[in-house]
Amino acid sequence: MFATRFRFFLIFSLILGAAMPAAAQPTVLRAARMLDVDGGRIVEDAVVVVEGGRIQAVNPARLPDGATVIDLGDVTLLPGLMDMHTHLTGDLTGDWTNRPVRETAADAALRGAKNARTTLMAGFTTVRDVGSKGFADVALMHAVERGDIVGPWIVPVGHALGITGGHCDVTGFAPGILEGGPKEGVADGPDEVLKAVRYQIKHGAKFIKTCATAGVLSFEGPVGAQQYSDEELRVMVEEAARHGVKVAAHAHGSAGILAAVKAGVASIEHGSMLTDEIIAEMKARGTYLVPTTYLVGAIDLNALPPPIRAKAEYVLPLAIESVKKAVAAGVKIAFGTDAAVYPHGDNAKEFAALVDRGMTPLEAIRAATVNAADLLGVDDRGRIAPGLLADLVAVPGNPLEDVHVLEDVRFVMRGGQVFKQAAAGR
**Residues 406, 123 contacting (CB under 8 angstroms):** yes
209, 246, 325, 349: which is the annotated catalytic residue?
A: 209
**Residues 334, 378 contacting (CB under 8 angstroms):** no
Contacts of 297 (CB under 8 A, 6+ apart): 353
129, 338, 349, 391: which is the annotated catalytic residue?
A: 338
- Going by C-alpha positions, the residue among 128, 25, 121, 146 that lies closest to residue 416 is 25
Q: Is 324 a catalytic residue?
A: no
Q: How far apart are CA 296 and CA 390, in angstroms?
A: 33
Written as one letter, the residue type at 410 is R
Q: How many residues does the chain have?
A: 426
Surface-to-core class of residue 72, CB atoms within 10 Å of its CB (0-12 exposed, 13-18 middle, 19+ buried): buried
Phi, psi of 345 (to 5 degrees): 100, -20
Angle (nearest 5°) at CA 141 between 177 and 85? 70
Angle (nearest 5°) at CA 230 between 225 and 231? 140
Q: Is 246 a catalytic residue?
A: no
Three-state SS sequence of 202-226: HCCCCCEEEECECCCCCCCCCCCCE
Phi, psi of 416 (to 5 degrees): 85, 0
Written as one letter, the residue type at 188 is D
> What residues are annotated to the active site?
209, 338
